[in-house]
Amino acid sequence: MSIIRWNPAISALGRWPNIWDEEDFPTFNRANNLDVYETQDEVVVKANVAGVPAEKVDVTYDKGVLWIQANAEESSEEDKKHYSRSSWSYSYKVAVPGEIDENLDPAAEVEDGVIKVTFKKSPASKPKKLQVSQKGKSKS
């Protein structure tokens, strides 16, 4: 067993929370709000827009970048003393990966508080099956 000198400064710094740790600061983890994935024929982007109706969601696709903005407000006035107001705002910008077929417009739909934007891949980007042949054996 070796003896290690105690340093109070290093000991105190070891207890500071890491801002990238999900358990210390769960509000900094935005990974659950945006999902980007590819299938054989499509690139799909899903984003959380809970509480915002479809007509209040604005989607823009320009030069390979998808921008989703959603805003909604709700207010109620029960009487002169009680007034409440709520608002929701979402903004996502993401570079869409892969080779997208620019001749086809992406499809966008909102369901259960999630917007799904689907891009069709270009035929050139789809995988091609190659034929494998046997090369003749040389005689020795």
Query: Does residue 129 belong to any structural domain of this protein?
Result: no
Query: Does residue 38 belong to any structural domain of this protein?
Result: yes
Query: Does residue 133 belong to any structural domain of this protein?
Result: no
Structural domain count, the chain = 1
Q: Is the dihedral of CA 21, 23, 27, 29 positive or negative?
A: positive
Q: Is the dihedral of CA 11, 15, 21, 23 positive or negative?
A: positive
Q: How far apart, in whole angstroms, are the C-alpha atoms of residue 5 and residue 125?
A: 59
Q: How far apart, in whole angstroms, are the C-alpha atoms of residue 11 and residue 34?
A: 37
Query: Does residue 61 belong to any structural domain of this protein?
Result: yes
Structure tokens at 134: 């046997």
Q: Is the dihedral of CA 18, 21, 27, 30 positive or negative?
A: positive
The reported pLDDT for the residue numbered 102 is: 87
- Please report, in angstroms and rounded to a whole number, the separation of the first and last CA atoms in the chain: 66
The reported pLDDT for the residue numbered 7 is: 66
Q: Output the pTM of the full model.
A: 0.63
Query: Does residue 85 belong to any structural domain of this protein?
Result: yes
Query: Does residue 8 belong to any structural domain of this protein?
Result: no
Quick: pLDDT tens for 57-109: 999 999 899 999 999 888 777 777 777 778 878 999 999 988 898 889 999 99
Q: What is the mean pLDDT of the chain?
A: 80
Query: Does residue 14 belong to any structural domain of this protein?
Result: no
Domain containing 117 equals 29-123
Q: How far apart, in whole angstroms, are the C-alpha atoms of residue 44 and residue 109?
A: 12
Contacts of 2 (CB under 8 A, 6+ apart): none
Region 30-51: what's the mean pLDDT? 85
Q: Provide the percentage of residues in the chain whose pLDDT is more than 90.
A: 37
- Determine the 3-state secondary structure of 24 from DSSP: coil
Here the CATH number for the domain that contains residue 112 is 2.60.40.790
Query: Does residue 128 belong to any structural domain of this protein?
Result: no
